[in-house]
């Protein structure tokens, strides 16, 4: 036998992978339209619901606004060298600061106030003042929301305004 007859044919080392049919690749226009319609409906439902609100955050925001208004009244009393009055009306749900804002409390939140260290919190109109030296007559403003209560305290000696959760 000759060398030419014993040679084996050369096998290609690279195999070709058959490509899928062009009709099977990708999404059809109808499928894309259906997906876009479903996404549009989901977005419309989310937008109609409105922003997510937390009642607890609203209460914290009101307490922070009242605390800031009281601190501002103390600062104005010192700067102007004259007393600044604060009125808390639990029945009308409003807190008015002389020379500052009147803050309205929402209907779902109870508002009571007491003047002095031993005063009982009341819903009626209560007033206290910040003196030009920074002190105050002292007060406690209580916000109640169901089982949760937050108190703003105004120290009589220093006029310091602090906020605490009351058990």
Per-residue pLDDT at 154 exceeds 70: yes
Q: What is the mean pLDDT of residues 73-81?
A: 96
* Domain boundaries along the sequence of the chain: 55-166
The architecture of the domain spanning 55-166 is 3-Layer(bab) Sandwich (3.55)
Q: Could you tell me the two tokens for 27?
A: 């999404």
Per-residue pLDDT at 22 exceeds 70: no
Alpha-carbon separation of residue 56 from 108, 121, 151 (angstroms): 11, 22, 15
Per-residue pLDDT at 65 exceeds 90: yes
What confidence category does residue 25 fall into, taking pLDDT thresholds of 50, 70 and 90? low
Share the mean pLDDT of the chain. Answer: 87
pLDDT, tens only, 95-137: 999 988 899 999 889 999 999 877 888 899 999 999 999 999 9
Q: CA-CA distance, 7 to 23, in Å (whole number)?
A: 44
Tell me what pLDDT residue 87 has: 96
What confidence category does residue 158 fall into, taking pLDDT thresholds of 50, 70 and 90? very high
Helix (H) or strand (E) run with residue 126 in it: strand 125-130
Q: What is the mean pLDDT of residues 159-166?
A: 95
Q: Could you tell me the two tokens for 75?
A: 């600062």
Tell whether pTM > 0.75: no
């Amino acid at each position: 036998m000759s060398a030419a007859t014993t040679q084996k044919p050369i096998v290609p080392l690279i195999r070709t992978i058959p490509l899928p049919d062009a009709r099977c690749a990708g999404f059809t226009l109808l499928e894309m339209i259906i997906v876009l319609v479903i996404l549009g409906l989901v977005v419309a439902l989310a937008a109609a619901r409105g922003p997510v609100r937390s009642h607890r955050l609203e209460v914290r925001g009101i307490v922070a606004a009242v605390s800031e208004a009281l601190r501002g009244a103390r600062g104005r009393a010192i700067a102007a060298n004259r007393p600044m009055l604060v009125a808390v009306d639990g029945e009308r749900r409003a807190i008015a600061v002389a020379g500052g804002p009147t803050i309205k409390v929402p209907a779902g939140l109870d508002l009571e106030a007491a003047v002095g260290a031993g005063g009982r919190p009341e819903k009626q109109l209560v007033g206290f003042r910040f003196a030009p030296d920074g002190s105050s007559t002292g007060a406690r403003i209580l916000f109640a929301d169901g089982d949760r209560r937050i108190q703003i305290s105004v120290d009589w000696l220093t006029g310091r305004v602090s906020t605490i959760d009351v058990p």
